[in-house]
Amino acid sequence: MQLTNDIIRNRLTEKFGERISEWAEPDGILTFTAPREDNLKILGFLFDDDNLKFRFLTDLTGIHYPDRKDEELGVVYHMHNLVDNIRLRMKVFSPVAKPDIYTATGLFSSANWMERETYDFYGVNFVGHPNLKRILNVDEMDYFPLRKEFPLEDQSRVDKDDDMFGR
């Protein structure tokens, strides 16, 4: 039997019900949002289920939506079923005041460095991570550079002529 997005969605709905929301299929990739406290349960189910077989973590990254109340920081998991060649995207969100999400390093060894990078740039605290520390930025950095907390350019610059840039 060919694995399809409908089959995956039905299996996840049977197991987790209404806890999974915001279903979409951008570019044919089944995408959904899950509660952050369930991320390991869902990842484990996707990994262990004999029909689903999502055993390859392609990517894990952070996102920052400053206007989304109590869901400002997110983690996006991209998984791949190599047997049926089908991809899946899962998003979990947390408040910026308490950015705790359980680590996926127990399921996917590759999550180790990806979670460290996400911590380094977004400040997501991966609970249970074996070595969560900065990986690309200096240890003394007291902010997370990919959060949308800073203006994109210095508004006090006087050496730029806005007319030259169409503003």
Compute CA 102 distance to the chain's CA centroid, rounded to the nearest angstrom: 12
Answer whether 105's CB lies under 8 Å from 111's CB: yes
Beta strands in the chain (DSSP E): 21-24, 30-34, 56-64, 73-81, 86-94, 100-102, 125-127
pLDDT value at 43 more than 90: yes
pLDDT value at 114 more than 60: yes
Answer whether 120's CB lies under 8 Å from 134's CB: yes
Of 135, 153, 155, residue with least CA distance to 144: 135
Hey, what are 154's tokens? 């210095």
Side-chain-side CA neighbours of 59 within 13 Å: the count stands at 9
pLDDT value at 165 more than 70: no
Answer whether 54's CB lies under 8 Å from 46's CB: yes
Hey, what are 21's tokens? 């929301």
* Cα–Cα distance measured from residue 99 to residue 71, given in angstroms and rounded to the nearest whole number: 9
Segment 90-104 shows an average pLDDT of: 97
Q: Is 54 exposed, middle or buried (0-12, 13-18, 19+ CB in 10 A)?
A: buried
Percentage of residues in the chain having pLDDT higher than 70:
90
Q: How confident is the model at residue 107 (pLDDT cuts 50, 70, 90)?
A: very high
Complete domains list, the chain, with CATH? 5-98 (3.30.460.80)
pLDDT of amino acid 110: 94
